[in-house]
Structure 1
Amino acid sequence: SFHPPYGKFKVDVKNSDHVCSEGVSDFTTDDELYMNIDYRESGNDVFLSADFESGTYHKNSVRNEEIYMPGGTFPLAWTRSYGSGKVFVTLLGHDGLSHQNQDFQKLVINGVDWVTA
């Protein structure tokens, strides 16, 4: 996996009927957008994603390094069942700044509620 430099991006609620997205609307966050995560779509119920435009981005402004990032739609949160257990995954929440986002907080609470129900 990899990600562009830390920054703002829009998070899209793909499935507003999903139990973990209850009370969560599309929102903008300060975070890292992880890309190229090796996961299998089969059995995963993706309900949050983000679109990203391909391009060259500053990797390190101090040394003026640039890096190319591919574009696409990238999954950010999903659930699945594993045997009789439940799994909630989010790729959001890199640091305290992203944790201050009320939609992120609601997402985590919903995820914990769903897994422990």
Structure 2
Amino acid sequence: MRAKPSALIYSGGYSHPFAETTSVLSGYAEMSGFALVVEEDIDAAIARLAEVDLLVVNALYWGMTQYERYAPHRERWAYVLPDTHMAALRNFVVRGGALLVMHTGTICWDTQPDWIRLMGGGWSWERSYHPPLGDAVVELTAEGRRYSNGPSHFALVDEVYHRLDPSTDCTVLANGDVGEGAQPVAWVRREGAGRVAVDALGHDARSLTAPGHAALIMGLLAWLRVRATGEGEDA
């Protein structure tokens, strides 16, 4: 019998309630059948990739060079991901690992364009932005309804990132709207032998536990677990 699949959540960073959101995500991962470990140190997380089947990035570290308002925070929070770490992340997925990127993970590691390529889309300082945290409506696509057993249309309170520009090889599962037009907020793609899922929602526990969002996350974890376990294939 195959050992229980394992998941590592890389958690922490600037200006978000990561302890809160990682606690919720940990519960979902365990409910989905993953043995779980949480790391708040990127070097330790990269070193453990060989031990896990799924990596969840629920963090916010980037170069912080764009605006002077970040200057007081750079000493603590600014981070440039080394090329060796980026290569390890890519190899993890290409060789069959599963990757789930949550919310601020789409902003991480802005000096590494291969991170956006691996996700299939993400934050661009030239194009992307988000309105203030507030009421939003999420609509699952036809493909998204295949991944979730929850409502196809639901409301939540969140930051809805705009202009993440998922690439043409991504399957968009959900669009979010705060009154400025629908924006892709969740998608999946394949890279080599691995699977990648991106959920750009999830600012706090209110978002993660909204019933429609919770059902979508559980669906993503089920899809990623197929890759992790080899228990059958799907589309």
Q: Per the shorter chain, which TM-score range?
A: 0.7 to 0.9
Residues 1:27 and 2:154 aligned together: yes
Q: Could you tell me how far apart the structure 2 residues matched to 1:34 and 1:94 are? A: 11
User: What TM-score results when the alignment is normalised by the length of structure 1?
Assistant: 0.75
Map 1:42-81 → 2, pairs under 5 A: 42-53=168-179, 71-81=180-190
Contact in 2 for aligned 1:21/1:47 (Cα 8 Å): no
Q: Could you tell me how far apart the structure 2 residues matched to 1:52 and 1:97 are? A: 16
Residues 1:91 and 2:200 aligned together: yes
| C-alpha displacement of 1:38 | 4.1
Q: How far does the alpha carbon of each residue in 1:23-63 deviate from its partner, in whole angstroms, 9 at most, with x for none?
A: 342100100010021432x110002002343xxxxxxxxxx
Gaps of 5+ in 2: 1-127, 227-235
The verdict on how the C-alpha distance between 1:16 and 1:116 changes in structure 2, with shifts beyond 3 A counting, is: same
Q: Larger % of strand: which? A: 1
Contact in 1 for aligned 2:171/2:189 (Cα 8 Å): yes
Q: Could you tell me how far apart the structure 2 residues matched to 1:75 and 1:17 are? A: 11
Percent identity (aligned):
32
Q: Larger % of helix: which? A: 2
Task: Give the stretch that moved more between structures: 11-20 or 80-89.
Answer: 11-20
Instruction: Give aligned pairs, total.
Output: 99
Q: Which has the larger radius of gyration?
A: 2
Contact in 2 for aligned 1:24/1:107 (Cα 8 Å): no
Residues 1:11 and 2:120 aligned together: no
Gaps of 5+ in 1: 54-70
| C-alpha displacement of 1:73 | 2.2
